[in-house]
């Protein structure tokens, strides 16, 4: 199978590409090679490479900035995705696209399954949900994967690093750290997500998936675990979302239930704490300049 992987250099693509190239013929494209918002250029490139599967890991995911850059958020997260979906459907190719826990309002304190009704609170969440719907409407052979709290060895260029790297950087400075304690999430290592995605692709059961590391914690609890596992003594204080004062509203509870994986007997993701310990043990905290 020939695959075009979009978003090369990002933290998910960086963990996914090595696994894919062991099994398939993969063309990996970063922003320098492919501007998703240039629809004609995207179609021309896909016409040239003729993939049987397109995997789109690119997104406009600066959540707070999306509140001001509404047009840009929808251009990347929805309209560019529709262009990919239409090309794939016309050429009988499959499309794997990624979404987020932010499509949910988080007003129910129980894990949300794929069949539960979304209700995004932010422009980012709305743009990602729109992208989901466009893929599902325009491309018959699709995998739409919602995930949460990603962190990987490649970091996140759009966010200036991931949460783990940011906490380690702040902790090593020896300054007080304040972290939101009233948002419950399912942090997910891109290495674990990538391995599960390969299994999903090989099973070939199209549709909507939730894929995260198992378990849940607040961002404060996640930060505390980071410092504990990294043997850092840090003055860590829990704060509320209101005190943090972010421009975009976040869901208070956005843990994802893996109903589709469970139906395929594939719901065996490691816990978030085990994933974090492995990430740190394998040098995740030393992967970027501090």
> Strands 53-56 and 25-29, how do they pair?
unpaired
Query: How many whole angstroms separate alpha carbon 50 and alpha carbon 36?
Result: 17
Residue carrying the six token digits 């989901």:
132
Query: How many whole angstroms separate alpha carbon 220 and alpha carbon 233?
Result: 15
Do residues 97 and 139 make contact, with C-beta atoms less than 8 angstroms apart? no
Query: How many whole angstroms separate alpha carbon 201 and alpha carbon 221?
Result: 33
Query: How many whole angstroms separate alpha carbon 62 and alpha carbon 76?
Result: 12
Query: How many whole angstroms separate alpha carbon 248 and alpha carbon 44?
Result: 36
Query: How many whole angstroms separate alpha carbon 86 and alpha carbon 108?
Result: 35
Q: What is the DSSP letter of 217?
A: E
Q: Catalytic positions, please?
A: 124
- Non-local (6+) Cβ contacts of 258 within 8 A are 209, 210, 211, 212, 267, 269
């Amino acid at each position: 199978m020939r695959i075009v992987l979009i978003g090369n250099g990002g933290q998910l693509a960086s963990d996914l590409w090595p696994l894919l190239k062991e099994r398939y013929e993969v063309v990996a494209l970063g922003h320098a090679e492919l501007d998703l918002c240039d629809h004609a250029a995207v179609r021309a490139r896909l016409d040239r490479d003729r993939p049987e599967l397109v995997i789109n890991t690119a997104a406009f995911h600066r959540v707070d900035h999306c509140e001001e850059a509404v047009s840009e958020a929808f251009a990347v997260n929805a309209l560019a995705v529709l262009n990919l979906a239409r090309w794939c459907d016309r050429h009988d190719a499959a499309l794997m696209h990624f979404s987020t826990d932010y499509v949910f309002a988080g007003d129910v304190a129980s894990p949300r399954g794929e069949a539960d009704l979304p209700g995004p609170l932010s422009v980012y969440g709305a743009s990602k949900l729109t992208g989901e719907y466009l893929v599902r409407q325009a491309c018959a052979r699709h995998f739409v994967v919602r995930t949460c709290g990603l962190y990987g060895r490649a970091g996140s260029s759009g966010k200036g690093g991931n949460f783990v790297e940011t906490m380690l950087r702040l902790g090593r400075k020896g300054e007080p750290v304040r972290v939101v304690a009233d948002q419950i999430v399912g942090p997910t290592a891109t290495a674990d997500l990538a391995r599960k995605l390969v299994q999903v692709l090989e099973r070939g059961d199209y549709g909507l998936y939730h894929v995260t590391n198992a378990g849940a914690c607040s961002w404060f609890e996640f930060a505390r675990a980071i410092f504990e596992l990294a043997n850092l003594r840090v003055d860590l204080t829990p704060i509320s979302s209101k005190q943090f004062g972010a421009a975009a509203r976040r869901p208070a509870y956005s843990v994802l239930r893996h109903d589709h994986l469970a139906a395929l007997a594939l719901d065996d993701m490691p816990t978030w704490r085990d994933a974090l310990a492995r990430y740190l043990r394998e040098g995740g905290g030393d992967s970027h300049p501090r």
